[in-house]
Chains A and B, each alone.
Chain A
Amino acid sequence: MASTAASVSPPPERAAEGEVSLVRLYVLRATYLLLVVGLGAVIVPPLVSHELVARGVIPSLLGAVWLLAFLGLRYPLQMLPLLLFELVWKTIWLFDFGLAQYLSGQRPPTFAEDSFNIALGVILMPLVIPWPYVWRHYVRRAGARWR
């Protein structure tokens, strides 16, 4: 991989894109598309019309995931923090709150819907995220300057 990158130096954005396969880029785009379509169908109606007394924190959060997923269609690698964030918070929910709700036997009415949507994310994201790229860019690469 190093030899192909060294011969001609492409512009930085092309270089970043060249770090994962085209198939991976399409898989990522498909994931963002899934968020745009699937989450959009669920989240846009309550955002547009809701009771005035609704607190609205959860719909707003999910609405933001939906909006930023559009950016992901165009910049699948740059928007990876969004997918990482999705994986992290959903994993925390599944093994913490989800498990507690499941084991308690007194599941809240939201349990079925939440556990399905969240478990889907926890299964899907690790398959979709290009881990070697994440390793190179978010762990091994030097951080931003301090001085």
Chain B
Amino acid sequence: MASASPSFWRRGDQEVSLARLYVLRAFCILFFLAGPFIALPDVIHPDPAVRGLMSSIVAGFWVMSILGLRDPLRIMPIFLFEFVWKTIWLIAFGLPRWWSGMNSPHLSQDLLDIGTFPFLLALVIPWGYVWRHYIRR
């Protein structure tokens, strides 16, 4: 950190700053490490009575996180996807249930596991890059 030059924090003529690349990569590493704990038991021993969509989707994210380690900007749609689905969940399901007072242990866990991520991802995603490449271009 001590040797951090302005170019570490500023993007200059690059797409995003080096700091941002590391933040995005850290997110991928975190998911790469956590993913197997979330989905692997179900994927290895699929219970026929369980629908299995969630575990498959988590496993799909896990594969994408490998691509993201190398070049996180290339998989920006996956970051956006994470941001969008968790925001939809929070607005359409999480918050209405919370406000209605119909709380359950399940909801508290989901609010933590899903509901906190829109805020976290809002900080992680390089919105300037998204604006330049996915909206203005």
Chain A residues with a Cβ under 8 A of chain B? 13, 47, 50, 52-61, 63-65, 67-68, 71, 75, 78-82, 84-86, 88-90, 92-93, 96-101, 103-104, 106-108, 110, 114, 137-138, 141, 143-147
Contact = CB atoms under 8 A, between A and B. Distances in A.
A57 B69 CA distance: 26
Given A55-B110, A145-B18, A82 B73 contact: no
Contacts of B114: 57
A57 to B, nearest CB: 6
Interface residues of B, number: 52
A50 B92 CA distance: 9
A92 B56 contact: yes
B81 A78 contact: no
B20 to A, nearest CB: 10
Contacts, number: 153
Interface in B18-67: 18, 21, 43, 46-57, 59-61, 63-64, 67
B60 to A, nearest CB: 3
B80 interface: yes
Contacts of A89: 56-57, 59-61
Nearest to B63: A88
Contacts of B96: 52
A138 B74 CA distance: 8
Given A52-B96, A55-B106, A79-B77, 18 more contacts: A13-B137, A52-B102, A53-B97, A60-B85, A60-B89, A63-B92, A64-B85, A67-B88, A68-B77, A85-B77, A88-B59, A97-B46, A97-B56, A101-B48, A106-B48, A107-B48, A108-B49, A146-B21
